[in-house]
Structure 1
Amino acid sequence: MTRLWNDPQEFVDEMVEGFVLANQGYVRRVRGGVTRSTASPEPEVSLVIGGGSGHYPAFAGLVGPGLAHGAAMGNLFASPSSTQVESVVRASDRGRGVLLSYGNYAGDVLNFTAAQDAVRADGIDCRTVLVTDDIFSAAPDSRATRRGIAGDLTVFKTAGAAAAAAYDLDDVERVAILTNDRTRSMGVAFTGCTLPGADEPLFSVPEGRMAIGLGIHGEPGIDETDIPSADGLAELFVEHLLADAEIPEGVDPATARVVPILNGLGSVKTEELFVVFRSLVKRLGERGVTLVDPQVGEFCTSFDMAGASLTLLWLDDELERLWTAPADTPAFRRGVVPTGAGVSASDAPSAAAAAAITDLDAEGQRDDAGADVPDSSAESRQTATRIAGLLRLVSDTVSENAAEWGRLDSVAGDGDHGIGMQRGATAALEAAESAERAGAGARTLLTRAAAAWADRAGGTSGALWGVILRSLASELSDETVPSAGDIVVGAVRGRDSVMSVGGAAVGDKTMIDALVPFTEALDAAVSGGASLADAWQDAADAAERGAESTTGLVARLGRAKTHGDRAAGSPDPGAVSFAALARAVANTLKNDTEEES
């Protein structure tokens, strides 16, 4: 049970603030995360890592000389937004290119890729290496689809050391790819983790049982067994990680050199891990494996989960040299690294990068300061006021249902859907109210609300809701009142953009299963001459039917895909939340129409 927090919605912001205050010799805060507060002796390739919070020391604890240059930090178990990632990239770039590296999760891929595209458009050479070390998340012949867990550390460490050794971007990328190819991990858990403010853990394990193959975001395990002894757990780790199909190509275990990382996931004590490691040394030695620089402790946690994972990095000469190279970060230190006294003028972001970061800050601002808005007509401002009212309704609806949506998400996912939706809706409302006070028209108000939702919510749902609202805004005007046809065009554009960006189709057990029937019904009703209020009622009905249809589906995309069978019998939380918001808006439009008549 998580005990120390103030407002659950503010937990991550307050945590980041405290982390930076405690580690000012290593990091400084930038929009979306942290970057180094120290200067490299010479310009080098920048390594930017990141993901959801709740995994300390991953990710911010690994920022410092010899390792990462910046970390983008999302909400608990939720990807940082593309705006947050872009800000950290621009703040960390020193002119020799940027390598992004993070675990292979849908939301992270969506948002980091969008950030990569944005900085590439400005001439920054930016590339990505995904971490895919979890052997239980996909079969050996589908390694590229596996998720990343504690193997993040091996990829980050060797890539960071390569950058510090003045490798160019091609070779830093090559090292990261090679390290990922030679890294394997698996995890087990005895209890699930509990997010701040939640009454129950994201999943539970029966008394006396152990989940095998769990994820680091509170995803339940793939299998379950009786809790073994420490020796039994060591045997289980070795059995799976040294299976023939998991030995990297070209490696002979009998002569191999391996870095073992025995990782505590949050509540298992280091003393317990030492008992397990004692047995691991014996069993790996029996297989002929030589251990190099063993690591026992917490390296990638899952908040307060009681569990452990074992990672093996199969070395070659280059990887061994890079793994053992000096590093100095808040949570991972070895040797002596050369550092500067702080961020120098030459090492600070360029003027263009600083301007770009300022622009990002302005786009997501949450108050009236400097909130210049384009000219607008009185009619459009009236429409903007109605939109702000609808966003207030949306925010209230989200708050009422956040706990239930989180519960649905915990069945086979990571349980953060309710929190993410609440943060996004709250931010969108604040941005809308700020724009309304500044005299914004409909298009400007909804555009700013869309940016705020995507930025504050993070994760997959945050990005997709940002796309939906931005698409609707594109069909509005700051001068005229939109027609029902304009709203339909915006909704269809949003649907198509979500399907393109997220890659989902009807039947994949996602928001799309509610969004597609919603837009089809809305289009058909308006084309048939129905008013927007009546058409929206039909569309909300269709969205609810679509959401209900996901109950019997097996997830094929997102974090739930690893546990698809477990999700059967429970509706998709993204589809359910979309349908609920569609219904709330439908009821309001109906009431407004009745009052006007």
Structure 2
Amino acid sequence: MTRLFNDPAAFADEALEGFAAAHRRWVRPVTGGVVRAGGTPAGQVAVVIGGGSGHYPAFSGLVGRGLAHGAAVGNVFASPSAQQIRSVARAAHAGGGVLLMYGNYAGDVLHFGQAAERLAADGVEARTFAVTDDISSAAPEESAKRRGIAGDLPVFKAAAAAAEQGLPLAEVLAVAERANARTRSFGIAFSGCTLPGADHPLFTVPEARMAVGLGIHGEPGIGEEALPTADEAARLLVTHLLAELPDGVTAPAGERAAVILNGLGSVKYEELFVVYRKVAELLGDAGVEIVDPEVGELVTSFDMAGVSLTLTWLDDRLEELWRAPADTPAYRKGAFGAPEAEAVARPADGTGTVADEPADEALPDASEDSRRAAGTVLAALTAIAGTVDTHVEELGRIDAVAGDGDHGIGMQRGATAARQAATTAYGLGAGAGTVLTRAADAWADKAGGTSGALWGSILRALGTTLGDQEAPSADRVAAGAAEASAAVRRLGGAEVGDRTMVDVLVPFADTLSAATASGLALAEAWDRAAGAAESAAAATAELLPRKGRARPHAEKSLGTPDAGAHSLALITRAVHGVLLPHSPNQH
């Protein structure tokens, strides 16, 4: 378990701070992550990787010559926010464009996509690419739905080595696509990981059993088998990977492969070597030529006891890129020539820390009615933060049934940041709309993950609809809820029945609109809508997930409500308590 921490909510930030302090030769901290200490050579494509904390040496440990130019680092098991990614990418950009690379998880897809859009608006050419190597997470015909696990490394490295050679962005992206198409991974585990501050692991494995086909976020495996010997584990891993060859590889005999035996956190190196001796033997018997194998901890999951095997089937070009030198805090290969000159100026204090971009504190004009309503908005956001604080452990426990267990802490970080941003905006005299939009940006930035992006869109939709000029009427609030419902469905791609927060948000918004249209005052209409939300959240316990990390573990989730749906229902009821004494008379 994770024993050394201060505030669990600050663990990821403090770990990144310590990492940067320990590795000044390679990296310098920027808002949202780290970039190469020497900067990106002028005109070179900047490869920016990223994901949640808890996977070291992914992602920050892979920043340096021959590999990533920067890494955006999110909260524990949660994607970095779009603002964090944008900040790192802007610091890494040197005129050649940016390739944003990440594992294929819903939060990463949302945030990296949003970051690419913002970079484009900044005049920075940006592309995104998701690694999809985990064969246990989807069938071959649905390979685009697969997770990115230890295959992140060979795909990141191929793209970064191509960038190091001076290739343009389109060609670097093409290299990533080819490396990903020829990479497969499969994992097993003997125990789950324990998040900082938690007193139990995210999943457990019965005595003398192992979980098969697991991810890197504490998700349980897709099945269980008897605990194997080291040789039996090696045979299981190799057999699964040789059973699914990529296009262009008709048989393993005569093929070359980059091989990674990856420890997930608490399997000792000696154990890995015992397994690898059999892996090498089995691949040799199959006629596979192993090229520059890697055995060690490369993409971890805190203290999870488990291993994964990755094969990247090489052609001449991919082999050249795999063998290319790299020099990062956690991954080194070969040797470079003379050190590259620094491409960016370092701050005068020598720390290498890049200051945050100055915040725009200018507030839009607001009417007195809207400023008064902003007080109610702040009270609602305070109630939301309090409710999340009360239920944070429960939300984590529900999420851990078939997910990664980070929903509670992510919601806590987001709600706390939103309340703080709202308090500041309200103190400056902002109207209701601006208080909500400032809170939206803070929630999305600090929470990260899928829920951070979605809650950011909910608050922003409400704020945009309410504006800063009019006192919010019941009808306008209902219209804001309807727009929030539509925005979440557009952004996340989920619909009712997928077992997500959408299963609650849609009936809540629909009920609120119908109730206000019938003439009910806001507090009464909200009460009715909150009841619909609570019923819908409870009903998600009988749904099979069709989106997100719980999808590969659908059967495990039956009987437990969706964490995002449950938290939304709790929040709607908390806001109702605020509206009772503040409800406007407008209809």
| TM-score, normalised by the number of residues in structure 1 | 0.94
- Structure 1's 41 and 461: CA in aligned 2 closer, same or farther, altered over 3 A? closer
1:101 — aligned with what? 101
Which amino acid is 2:206 matched to?
A: P
The answer for the alignment partner of 1:366 in structure 2 is none
* Contact 2:39 2:92 (8 Å CA) reproduced: no
Shift of 1:188: 0.7
In the alignment, does 2:511 pair up with 1:514?
no
User: Is the counterpart of residue 215 in structure 1 residue 221 in structure 2?
Assistant: no
Question: Could you tell me how far apart the structure 2 residues matched to 1:42 and 1:393 are?
Answer: 49
User: Which residue is 2:120 aligned to?
Assistant: 120
Distance 2:491 2:551 in 1: 18
* SS of alignment partner, residue 21 of structure 2: helix
Mapped partners of 2:155, 2:426: distance in 1? 46
Kept in 2, the 8 Å contact 1:41–1:339? The answer is no
Residue number in structure 1 paired with 2:64? 64
Aligned to 1:203: 203
Structure 1's unaligned 5+ residue stretches are 349-353, 364-370
Q: Is the 8 A contact 2:485 2:505 kept in 1?
A: yes
- C-alpha separation between the residues in 2 aligned to 1:219 and 1:335? 35
User: Amino acid of the residue matched to residue 211 of structure 2?
Assistant: A
Are 1:538 and 2:528 counterparts? yes
Q: Secondary structure at the match of 1:14?
A: helix
8 Å contact kept, 2:494–2:502? yes
Using the alignment, how far apart are the partners of 1:211 and 1:418 within structure 2? 25
* 1:70–1:88 Cα contact (<8 Å) kept: yes
- SS at the partner of 1:220? coil
SS at match of 2:311: strand
SS at match of 1:294: strand
What displacement does 1:3 show?
0.1
Structure 2 residue runs of 5 or longer lacking an equivalent are 348-352
Report the Cα distance in structure 1 between the residues aligned to 2:109 and 2:523, rounded to whole angstroms.
Answer: 37
Native 8 Å contact 1:51 1:59 kept in 2: yes
AA of the residue aligned to 1:206: P
**Matched length:** 579
Q: Deviations over 1:117-141 (max 9, x none)?
A: 1212333221122111001011112
| DSSP 3-state at the match of 2:188 | strand
Amino acid at match of 2:414: G
Cα 1:24–1:343 change in 2 (3 A) is: farther
Is the aligned partner of 1:494 residue 2:491? no
In 2, the alpha carbon distance for the partners of 1:13 and 1:222 equals: 32
Give the Cα–Cα distance (whole angstroms) in 2 for the partners of residues 475 and 259 of structure 1: 53
The CA distance in 2 between the partners of 1:392 and 1:41, in whole Å, is: 46
What does residue 140 of structure 1 align with? Answer: 140
Structure 1 residue 377 displacement after superposition: 3.2
Q: After TM superposition, which residue ranges in structure 1, 4 or more long, deviate above 6 angstroms? A: none
RMSD between aligned alpha carbons? 1.9
Query: Displacement, 1:593?
Result: 5.5
Letter of the structure 2 residue corresponding to residue 182 of structure 1 = R
Secondary structure, counterpart of 1:3 in structure 2? coil
Helix, strand or coil for the counterpart of 2:515?
A: helix
- Residues 64 and 328, structure 2, Cα contact 8 Å, conserved in 1: yes
Matches within 5 A, 1:397-546: 397-546=387-536
Aligned to 1:551: 541
Change (3 A) 1:329 1:590: same
Amino acid at match of 1:235: R
- 1:164 aligns to 2:164 (yes or no): yes
Q: 1:433 to 1:231 in 2, by over 3 A?
A: same
The equivalent position to 1:378 in structure 2, one of 347, 368, 376, is: 368
In structure 2, what is the equivalent of residue 43 of structure 1? 43
Report the Cα distance in structure 2 between the residues aligned to 1:569 and 1:591, rounded to whole angstroms.
36
- Supply the distance in 1 between the matched residues of 2:473 and 2:522 (Cα, whole angstroms): 9
What SS does structure 1 have at the residue aligned with 2:498? Answer: coil
Q: What's the counterpart of residue 367 of structure 1?
A: none
State which drifts further: 227-236 or 439-448: 439-448
Cα deviation digits, residues 494-513 of structure 1 (max 9, x gap): 10010011011100000011
Contact persistence 1:262–1:311 (CA under 8 A): yes
Matches within 5 A, 1:320-339: 320-337=319-336, 338-339=338-339
- The superposition leaves residues 213-271 of structure 1 with CA deviations (integer Å, 9 ceiling, x where unpaired) of 0010011001101110000001101110101x334433531101111100000010011
Q: CA deviation at 1:588?
A: 2.6
Q: Distance in 2 between the 1:250 and 1:594 partners?
A: 68
Aligned position for 2:350: none
1:310 maps to which residue? 309
Matched, 1:264 2:257: no
- The answer to whether the 8 A contact 2:521-2:583 is kept is no
Conserved in 1, the CA contact under 8 Å of 2:42 and 2:96?
A: no
> Do the aligned partners of 2:40 and 2:46 also contact (CA within 8 Å) in 1?
no
| Corresponding letter in the other structure for 2:377 | I
Determine if contact 2:195/2:302 at 8 Å carries over to the other structure: yes
> Structure 1 CA distance, aligned partners of 2:367 and 2:125?
43
Contact residue 132 and residue 143 of structure 2 kept, 8 A = yes
Contact conserved, 1:40 with 1:340, CA < 8 A, in 2? no
Instruction: Work out the CA distance in 2 between the residues paired with 1:280 and 1:549.
Output: 46
Query: What letter matches 1:131 in structure 2?
Result: V
Task: Establish whether residue 292 from structure 1 lines up as the match of residue 291 from structure 2.
Answer: yes
The Cα shift of 1:87 comes to: 1.2
Q: CA deviation at 1:176?
A: 0.7
- Alignment of 1:250 with 2:240, yes or no, is no
Equivalent position SS for 2:359: helix
Shifted more, 558-567 versus 470-479: the winner is 470-479
CA distance in 2, matches of 1:140, 1:384: 51
In structure 2, relative to structure 1, the CA distance for the partners of 1:513 and 1:191 (3 Å cut) is same
Percent of pairs with identical residues: 57
> Counterpart in 2 of 1:362?
359
User: 2: CA distance between counterparts of 1:548 and 1:201?
Assistant: 25
Give the distance between the partners of 1:247 and 1:377, measured in 2 at CA. Answer: 62
